[in-house]
Amino acid sequence: MVRNIKFIISVFLGLVIFFILLNALEKTNNYSPNKISNKIETNFTARLLYKNKEVSLEELIKDQHLSIINIWASWCLPCREEHSYLLNLNSINNINIIGINYKDNEVNAKKFLKELGNPYSKILLDPDGINSIELGAYGVPETFLLDTKSKKIIKKYIGPLDDIKFEEIVKIIKNEKI
Amino acid sequence: MKKFKLLIIILFFSFNFFNYSIAKNSNQVDKISKNLRCLICQGQSVYDSQSDFALSIKILIQKKIEEGKKENEIYEFLKNKYGEWIVYDPEISRKTFLLWTLPLILFVFGGLLIIRKVSIK
Amino acid sequence: MSSQIGIYSLYIALIISVFLIFQFTFLNKGTTKNLDSRIFSLISVQFLMVIISFFSLIYAFIISDFSNETVYNNSHTTKPLFYKISGTWGNHEGSLLLWLLVLIIFLFIFFIHSKKLSNKYRLLTVLFQEIIILGFLLFILFTSNPFSNLFPIPKEGNGLNPILQDPALAIHPPVLYLGYVGTSIIFSSSLAALITGLINKVWASHIKKWVVISWIFLSIGIMLGSIWAYYELGWGGFWFWDPVENVSLMPWFCLTALLHTIIVLEKRNTFHSWAIILSVTTFSLSMSGTFLVRSGILNSIHTFANDPSRGIFILCFLFFLIFSAIFIFFIYQKNISKNLYKPYLVSKETSILINNLFMMFFLSVVLVGTIYPIFLEVINDSKISVGPPFYQKLITPFLIPFLFFMAVGPNIKWIKDRISKINIQQLIFFIIFILLSCLFLKKNGALYLFVLPLIGSGFFLLFLTIKDFFLKSSHLSQKLAHFGFSLFMLSVLFNGILAKEYSSNMKVGDERIFMNKIIKFENLKVVQGHNYQSLIGEFKIIDQKNVLNFKPQIRVYDQPKTITSEADILTTIYSDNFLVFNVLKNDGYYNVRYQNKPFMIWIWLSVALMSFGGILSFIKKNG
């Protein structure tokens, strides 16, 4: 009798473990946990690129309904590729985009913008990468779509923007306007 | 005589459950960064990694230490931003309760099994 | 052409496997003599086929046959020959073929060396082993074919990761697999012995050889992996509690417990169930290791392919084997002799039981630590990390009593002994070493009261094992192995406690002061290597006694484009001095890291010593 119980327990345990592992295989092994706090830290201050002044991120977004924060650098190749999407979002869809210049050289950054265009309303400098960490960023390029009133992140894109992500952003903007 | 020996042995071993550590000269930043996972690397700690992310985190830790923040506060801050899995040392919470106790329970259980199987004379 | 040969030989091996398995009852009816030669010929042919297949893959690598997809993905014409060959098993498909090869080699050797034992037992072992072989063949042929063709034939390969081009890493997989796969024979033969009612002293003597062989190879294999990590990866560490490393350590704990259990079974004819359960568990852990590493379920720097479909296959196969073993165990349990003899409290049997308890504890710590995050993510949808602090916190306290028991255990007699055996002499040793450790730690400025008992126990074990050498000349292999282990523990401990490190960002010409040493970054040179360009940094470390010269490198490889950092390690018998530097983005600045690691070489030597103890036991048995 005892033997049978042990048997049943072993088999049961085995099955449980089996199904959990099977389930685990089906989960994707990606890096971004989406369940952490969606609120963004906006009161860090940094220097602006084009003016020798320190402002807080809070100030730059407070009058807006929706904002985009884009982390970029002149030395980052994918940032070049996504730049056209940002220009589009700024000019056509008229959304406020704030740039965070990540671990960059100011001269190079200005050159980059001169060459490719400037979609940003304001650009904050982040020479050490610390401010990006305040936002919970992993690196560059990274884009956040923010609801300014609640300071909640609606969408976070790790890596350069592409057609699909761009369409998503446009859709969200349109919905918000309604 | 036997009891005395046993007592010494027990006393000796009970020391290891007290965590007295007297002045270790370790670099705080190194210590903390060894306990953090580099999130854009595969299986490296922030201390070991030379990636942008890791370097920025190390600078951030330095800054926080200068501000007077304690080790735990820095971990909390980073966990808030990136989730629990940035810290290598799993905290003892309801979630990780089994993690910490399962091996210990098995040990005690095994010990009891042995005692049952062994005849004491 | 070689691809054809490769794959057709595998198909033939597959047919033989199926034939052997399904004809099992048939073949059983024949006479012993015929049966023997029939099975022998079948296994030999299968062996031949797999060897042919394996060598045709090596051949494809040597001639850089890029029509073969595996060769294309993992090789390059400019790779040195040695690494072209070792590249054969440095990838998912090739390493599985290696698994298969070792599975069949061991079966072959087993069959030849077991002629004295019952035929039914040998047949059943062949059956179970062939089931495992079949599983692997199916897996290889249907999901991980090393002979898939590419058309049009590319002109050049994708190259092998330069980090993997290292001598230690070239032999690490074969040695490790000999350890892992050795447990398959133990698994098969344990189940076979259970069914035929042969779990006894004779079987124990017979299987002990296999257990020792697996144990030796597994120990050396793990050590090679650590050596590679230490010399090659540039972080100065040799064990990271990385999931893939843990996966090789778990069967080791089990195998060690099994080894001791088999010794008891051989001497005292008890612990039968333990032996079987441990055999099955060890092999299951080896197989689970294969699963965890190749399925993409783990997040690690070592993982192979991240292919969930492969994972599902291995998972199902693994659990099929485990459930079969559980069924067989419960059905045939009555065959185990009902030895109701209870060992006395103070006896060698009990010491070994205690050893097993600790081994199982360490095993459960590593197992839970590695698998828990996976389970938590499925159940709770939250991701946590379990890293070195967890393992250290749980294992270190338990090492203290473990080392103590390990010191005292081997000297206790079989059956029954008196507790006064733990005599005054040993107690005095004990106290002396507490004092010694205290002095030593104080001198080196590392005062942890926590660490003190650990070192004390370590020394206790060390000197007791040394003392044993002078007592009697028997059991040399056990003494050597235990002595090696104590040396290992102490080396790791001292290395951990006394290691010093320093890191700073420097440019050429900079100097830094660390403790009483000056670190100078003197020069930078550019040199062209075989398939890389190398930036050599010339460093001097000066202290009161001597000057150390370092030449670490930063290598830029072409195929694929990677940058690696090669540390320069100056090894002496007392310590290693380790210097590595990395490029930083701020032009001209490099991150320089210096470490002083005492007794590093003793860590490797002690593992070699342990393994040598194992080899000695094997030789003595046959000699």
Q: Tell me which chains share at least 3 CB pairs under 8 Å with chain C.
A: A, B
User: What local confidence, expressed as pLDDT, does residue B23 receive?
Assistant: 28
Cα R_g (chain A), whole angstroms: 22
CB contact residues (below 8 A), chain C span 580-619, against chain B = 582-585, 591
Sequence-ordered list of residues with C-beta below 8 angstroms from that of C214, at least 6 positions apart, any chain: C178, C179, C180, C182, C183, C186, C255
**Residue C414 contacts residue C343 (beta carbons within 8 Å):** no
Report which of residues A109 and C531 the model is more confident about: A109
Q: Which chain C residues have a beta carbon less than 8 Å from that of A8?
A: none
Mean pLDDT, chain B, as a whole number?
A: 77
Interval C405-415 mean pLDDT: 78
For residue A18, give the chain C residue with the closest CA.
Answer: C319
Report which of residues B22 and A130 the model is more confident about: A130
For residue B38, give the chain A residue with the closest CA.
Answer: A138
Strand partners, C141: none
Q: Report the distance separating Cα C410 and Cα C466, nearest Å.
A: 13
Report which of residues C251 and C505 the model is more confident about: C251
Sequence-ordered list of residues with C-beta below 8 angstroms from that of C68, at least 6 positions apart, any chain: C2, C3, C57, C60, C146, C147, C148, C149, C150
Query: Does A27 sit within 8 Å of C378, measured CB to CB?
Result: yes
User: What local confidence, expressed as pLDDT, does residue C607 receive?
Assistant: 94
E strand or H helix that includes residue C185: helix C167-195
C396: nearest Cα among C448, C447, C340: C448
Interval C604-609 mean pLDDT: 94
User: What local confidence, expressed as pLDDT, does residue B11 receive?
Assistant: 59
User: What local confidence, expressed as pLDDT, does residue C301 receive?
Assistant: 54
For residue C583, give the chain B residue with the closest CA.
Answer: B50
Report residue C235's pLDDT band, with 50, 70 and 90 as the boundaries. confident
Query: Does C315 sit within 8 Å of A35, measured CB to CB?
Result: no
- For residue C239, which amino acid is it? W
Of A143-157, B16-30, C368-382, the least confident: B16-30
The residue assigned the tokens 């985190």 is: B57
Residue C226 burial class via C-beta count within 10 angstroms: exposed 0-12, middle 13-18, buried 19 and up: buried
User: What local confidence, expressed as pLDDT, does residue B10 receive?
Assistant: 59
Residue A44 zone, left/alpha/beta (φ > 0; ψ -120 to 50; rest): beta
**Residue C387 contacts residue B85 (beta carbons within 8 Å):** no
Q: What is the mean pLDDT of each run of 10 residues along chain B (121 residues)?
A: 58 44 52 88 82 89 88 89 86 85 92 80 48
Query: Does C378 sit within 8 Å of A24, measured CB to CB?
Result: yes
**Residue C168 contacts residue C231 (beta carbons within 8 Å):** yes
A20: closest CA of chain C, how far (Å) = 7
Query: Does A14 sit within 8 Å of C319, measured CB to CB?
Result: yes
Angle of CA points C315, C317, C318, to nearest 5°:
65
Query: Does C326 sit within 8 Å of A24, measured CB to CB?
Result: no
Interval C75-104 mean pLDDT: 88
Residue C162 is classified by DSSP as G
Q: Report the distance separating Cα C80 and Cα B63, nearest Å.
A: 47
User: What local confidence, expressed as pLDDT, does residue C58 receive?
Assistant: 92
CA dihedral C414, C418, C422, C425 (to 10 degrees): -110
A64: closest CA of chain C, how far (Å) = 33
Q: Is the pLDDT of residue C149 over 50?
A: yes
Interval C155-182 mean pLDDT: 83
Query: Does A139 sit within 8 Å of B81, measured CB to CB?
Result: no
Dihedral of CA C288/C75/C179/C332: which sign? positive
Q: Which chain B residues have a beta carbon less than 8 Å from that of C387?
A: 35, 37, 45, 88-89
Helix and strand totals (H; E) in chain B: 5, 1
Tokens of C596: 């002083």
Q: Report the distance separating Cα A131 and Cα A126, nearest Å.
A: 6
**Residue C403 contacts residue C457 (beta carbons within 8 Å):** yes
Of C157-161, C188-192, C228-232, C569-573, the least confident: C157-161
Tokens of B85: 């899995």
Burial track B73-88 (b if 16+ CB lie within 10 A, e otherwise): ebbebbbebbbbbbbb
The residue assigned the tokens 């195998």 is: C255
Report residue A32's pLDDT band, with 50, 70 and 90 as the boundaries. very low
E strand or H helix that includes residue C591: strand C590-598
Q: Is the pLDDT of residue C169 over 90?
A: no
Q: Is the pLDDT of residue A14 over 80?
A: yes
- For residue C36, which amino acid is it? D
Interval A125-142 mean pLDDT: 87
**Residue ranges per domain, chain C?**
1-164, 166-231+252-260+271-340, 500-601
Interval C610-622 mean pLDDT: 80
Report which of residues C325 and A65 the model is more confident about: C325
Sequence-ordered list of residues with C-beta below 8 angstroms from that of C41, at least 6 positions apart, any chain: none
B54: closest CA of chain C, how far (Å) = 12
Helix/strand/coil for A24: helix
The most confident of the ranges B9-13, C6-10, C582-586 is C6-10
Q: Is the peptide bond before C453 cis (omega within 30 degrees of 0)?
A: no
Tokens of A88: 């589009």
Q: Is the pLDDT of residue C31 over 80?
A: no
Q: Report the distance separating Cα C186 and Cα C279, nearest Å.
A: 6
Q: Which chain A residues have a beta carbon less than 8 Å from that of C299?
A: 29
User: What local confidence, expressed as pLDDT, does residue B19 receive?
Assistant: 34
Which of A36, A38, A102, A134 should be substituted to probe chain B, the one whose Cβ sees the most B Cβ atoms within 10 Å? A36
Strand partners, C554: C535, C565
The residue assigned the tokens 């843990």 is: C246
* Complex ipTM: 0.83
Q: Report the distance separating Cα B109 and Cα B115, nearest Å.
A: 10
**Residue C282 contacts residue C256 (beta carbons within 8 Å):** no
User: What local confidence, expressed as pLDDT, does residue C555 receive?
Assistant: 87
Mean pLDDT, chain A, as a whole number?
A: 81
Report residue C261's pLDDT band, with 50, 70 and 90 as the boundaries. very high
Query: Does C323 sit within 8 Å of A20, measured CB to CB?
Result: no
Q: Report the distance separating Cα C63 and Cα C72, nearest Å.
A: 11
Own/partner pairs for C326-329, CB < 8 Å, 24+ apart?
A: C326/A7, C326/A10, C326/A11, C326/A14, C328/C191, C328/C194, C328/C195, C329/C194, C329/C276, C329/C277, C329/C280
**C562 at B interface, C-beta within 8 A:** no
The most confident of the ranges C358-362, C393-397, C542-546 is C358-362
Q: Identify which of C291, C378, C585 has the shortest CB distance to residue A103.
A: C585
- For residue C63, which amino acid is it? I
Of A54-63, C178-187, C382-391, C589-598, the least confident: A54-63
Sequence-ordered list of residues with C-beta below 8 angstroms from that of C382, at least 6 positions apart, any chain: A33, A35, B83, B84, B95, C376
User: What local confidence, expressed as pLDDT, does residue B120 receive?
Assistant: 59
A-to-B residue pairs, Cβ atoms closer than 8 angstroms = 44
Q: Is the pLDDT of residue C137 over 90?
A: yes
Q: Is the pLDDT of residue C475 over 70?
A: yes
Residue C241 zone, left/alpha/beta (φ > 0; ψ -120 to 50; rest): left
The residue assigned the tokens 């040394």 is: C466
B113: closest CA of chain A, how far (Å) = 15
Angle between helices C272-294 and C167-195 (to 10 degrees): 140
Q: Report the distance separating Cα B22 and Cα C118, nearest Å.
A: 63
Tokens of A28: 């994707």
A-to-C residue pairs, Cβ atoms closer than 8 angstroms = 50
Q: Is the pLDDT of residue C56 over 50?
A: yes
**B107 at C interface, C-beta within 8 A:** yes
Residue C419 is classified by DSSP as G
Which of C292, C307, C319, C583 should be substituted to probe chain A, the one whose Cβ sees the most A Cβ atoms within 10 Å? C319
Q: Report the distance separating Cα A114 and Cα A124, nearest Å.
A: 17
**Residue C170 contacts residue C83 (beta carbons within 8 Å):** yes
**Residue C298 contacts residue C385 (beta carbons within 8 Å):** no
What digits encode the pLDDT tens for the residues C361-372?
999 999 999 989
Q: Report the distance separating Cα B115 and Cα C136, nearest Å.
A: 42
For residue C322, give the chain A residue with the closest CA.
Answer: A14
Tokens of C26: 């048939």
User: What local confidence, expressed as pLDDT, does residue A31 receive?
Assistant: 39
User: What local confidence, expressed as pLDDT, does residue C449 receive?
Assistant: 56
Report residue A171's pLDDT band, with 50, 70 and 90 as the boundaries. confident
Task: Give the total residue count for chain B.
Answer: 121
